[in-house]
Amino acid sequence: MNFKLSTVVEKDDSGFFAYCPELKGCMSQGSSHDDALKNLKEAIDLYLETLSEDELKLVLSKEIHTSYYNVKVG
């Protein structure tokens, strides 16, 4: 069975920071966007391995919807 998880990658002062909102505390970083995402996917796999079947059902049933909000400044 396949599930979708959200990933967020943000540029910061030391490279890129990535996290998965559905998995509390599951995050990683990298020197590039691709590195951060690759590292996060590895972290997600390891995170999911630590969960019981009941915890997996709970975590993987969450849905996070995203949208963009355009802001005009100045």
pLDDT at 65: 76
pLDDT digits (tens, 9 = 90+) for 3-14: 888 899 999 999
Tens of pLDDT, residues 20-67: 998 999 999 999 999 999 999 999 999 999 999 999 888 888 777 777
Can you give the residue ranges of every domain in the chain? 8-60
Alpha helices in the chain (DSSP H): 33-49, 53-60
pLDDT at 20: 94
CATH number (3.30.457.10, 3.40.50.720, 3.30.160.250, 2.40.10.340) of 8-60 reads 3.30.160.250
C-alpha distances (whole Å) from 34 to each of 6, 45, 52, 62 are: 15, 17, 30, 25
